[in-house]
Structure 1
């Protein structure tokens, strides 16, 4: 995928629509990768002053959580870009003036981002998960994308008092994109809380369970289930004890908020 950053100059020029209460980017995966490249190049020009763009995703879990936790709603409101990680968000957007062109699942978008990083020599820092999985996902990325420079990594099991130390590691690495897999909502809270400590990084991209998919620990749902917005059901079938109650309680409330807070 060739990324022509000249086609996306100036401020982000895609429409933003309210879906489930979140200002959601009506943008394609390809164009989002172009935005990443452009922002990272701009950050390199002003390392001492550039505040990273916080790029979050919207799905049923997050939409429900925002209705229950004002602090999480505030964290999402502070994001620079929110993209649709769930098909129900895409379906609901059809009621808006600018329906979303496609679902941008972070697990899929990573490959667009890695390809763009390969072409434009962007550097990644991998943050989150347990030490063993963190090490494994770096190895997996290097096999998939040998031209992507991974300049650092750190597991996600550290206390808040270590935030500054971790951020110093990221900045010293010269990373352009920081991938943050700390689980929702911790990853969103952490990203907003530490933006000032990460000056010069182009993007902070939250990525939830991405590492499990890249290492093969968690299989993706069949394509037809993804297209119908049923990937959550596939995940429940694989891990009913952990996910069954979560989806049973969040899905109805998320559906309500998608209907009530989409304009």
Structure 2
């Protein structure tokens, strides 16, 4: 399934050329016709992730283990439109995708497990999603605080819930590492990284104005509204991400073809 998706390299990362609707279809419609032994991994990539992938080898390896990597950052989409022949059609912000999939899951019957953040936040997120999408089935939730010795219990809790889609909000690089480590012992259909999505759903983190989301300056809003947490991150990673977007973005060679074909 994932192998049929066209990809381009953005900032050095193989990124799927898919829209939000494409991702919803893959997760909720197309999944019915595929019998896969392990969960499929859907990871996001943004400027912060690009910079991290340059210096953190383990994160880069975990990221590359994904079945699908989607562009959760408007600058990545813009770079693909300027520097590739088959650009990513639109940004698929994880918070927006979360709502898209929830809306469609009401009709398909696919179930959610929310994993990450504080217990207060994940509980509030589940409650708000149930108000917004009354027919959505959330079969379980759990905070993101656990020790290495508790990880097997976390996986058992997820499996016992019978969830189809597990939203993993542990933040980079922990969420990617968790998904890769446990893809053989979790029985869900999808493991989806979602960072601080639950915080945005509850309103504890504010989304940037739409014009900033569309112009690729949402990171500035986040930096200003969460300076203690994000000021140094964005000041240190944004120049690196811009360099990678310019230097390592381009079309990928199709399978079965050589560079001279």
Aligned to 1:4: none
Match of 2:156 among 161, 165, 168: 168
Query: What is the 5 A alignment of 1:79-94?
Result: 79-94=66-81
Aligned to 1:27: 18
Once residues 4 and 131 of structure 2 are traced to their aligned partners in structure 1, the CA distance between those partners, rounded to angstroms, is 34
Gaps of 5+ in 2: 251-261
Aligned to 1:204: 191
Once residues 31 and 143 of structure 2 are traced to their aligned partners in structure 1, the CA distance between those partners, rounded to angstroms, is 23
The alignment of Structure 1 onto Structure 2 pairs a total of residues equal to 249
Aligned to 1:112: 100
Aligned to 1:138: 126
- Residues 159-218 of structure 1 deviation map (CA, whole Å, 9 limit, x = unaligned): 12211111111111110000000011100111111101113x111001001001111111
1:41 aligns with 2:32: yes
Aligned to 1:216: 203
Q: 1:134 deviation in Å? A: 1.3
Q: 1:155 deviation in Å? A: 0.7
Cα pair 1:58 1:86 within 8 Å, conserved: yes
1:15 aligns with 2:1: no
Once residues 242 and 204 of structure 1 are traced to their aligned partners in structure 2, the CA distance between those partners, rounded to angstroms, is 26
Once residues 187 and 123 of structure 1 are traced to their aligned partners in structure 2, the CA distance between those partners, rounded to angstroms, is 20
Provide TM-score, normalisation by structure 2: 0.92
Aligned to 2:259: none
Q: 1:21 deviation in Å? A: 1.1
After superposing on structure 2, the runs of 4+ consecutive aligned residues of structure 1 that deviate more than 6 Å are: none
Cα pair 1:125 1:153 within 8 Å, conserved: yes
1:188 aligns with 2:179: no
Provide TM-score, normalisation by structure 1: 0.91
Cα pair 1:188 1:206 within 8 Å, conserved: yes
Q: 1:41 deviation in Å? A: 2.6
Aligned to 2:213: 226
Which secondary structure does the structure 2 equivalent of 1:221 belong to? coil
Once residues 32 and 93 of structure 1 are traced to their aligned partners in structure 2, the CA distance between those partners, rounded to angstroms, is 18
Pairwise CA RMSD? 1.4
Gaps of 5+ in 1: 1-9
Cα pair 1:40 1:176 within 8 Å, conserved: no
Aligned to 2:116: 128
